[in-house]
Copies of this chain bind each other. A is one copy, B any other.
Amino acid sequence: MTRTFYEAELQEQPTSLERLLREGRAAAEAAAEKVRRRPVRFAVLAARGSSDNAARYGQYALGIRNRLVAALATPSLFTHYRAAPSLGEALVVGISQSGQSPDIVEVLREARRQGAATIAVTNDAASPLAAAAESVLPLLAGRERSVAATKTYTAQLMALAMLSAALGGDEGPWTELGAVPGTVARVIDGCAGLGSAAPRFRDHPGLVVVGRGYNLSTAFEVALKVKETSGILADGYSSADFLHGPKAILEQRQRPPVLVVAPGPRTFDDLDGVVRLVRELGAPLLAVSDRDEILEGADVAMSLPPGTPEWLSPLVAVVPGQAWALGLSLARGRNPDAPAGLTKVTLTR
A: residues with CB less than 8 A from B are 41-42, 44, 48-50, 52, 59-60, 62-65, 67-72, 74-77, 80-81, 83-87, 89-90, 103, 148, 205-206, 212-213, 216, 224, 227-229, 231-233, 235, 238, 240-241, 243-252, 254, 256, 266-267, 269-270, 281, 339-342, 346, 348-349
Most central of A50, A89, A231, A232 by chain B CB within 10 Å = A231
Where chain A touches its partner, the secondary structure class is mixed
Contact A248 B69 (CB under 8 A): no
With beta carbons under 8 angstroms apart, the residue of B59, B81, B244 that contacts A74 is B59
Cα(A212)–Cα(B334), bound, Å: 30
Q: Specify which of B63, B85, B339, B340 is in contact with A63 (CB 8 Å cutoff).
A: B85
> Please, which residue of chain B has its CB at the minimum distance from the CB of A75?
B240
Q: Which residue of B lies closest to A255 (CB)?
A: B231
| A251 pairs with B80, CB closer than 8 A | no
B67 and A346 contact, CB distance less than 8 A:
no
Q: Which residues of B contact A281 (CB under 8 A)?
A: 341
Residue pairs across A and B with Cβ atoms less than 8 A apart, 21 shown, are: A48-B241, A49-B245, A60-B77, A63-B77, A64-B81, A69-B85, A74-B213, A74-B216, A75-B240, A76-B212, A76-B240, A80-B212, A80-B270, A81-B213, A81-B266, A206-B206, A206-B233, A240-B348, A245-B339, A248-B341, A251-B339
Please determine whether A89 and B206 come into contact, CB atoms closer than 8 angstroms.
Answer: no
Which of B49, B68, B238 touches A244 (beta carbons < 8 Å)? B49
Closest 8 CB pairs of A and B: A71-B71, A49-B244, A251-B340, A240-B348, A64-B83, A233-B233, A206-B233, A76-B213
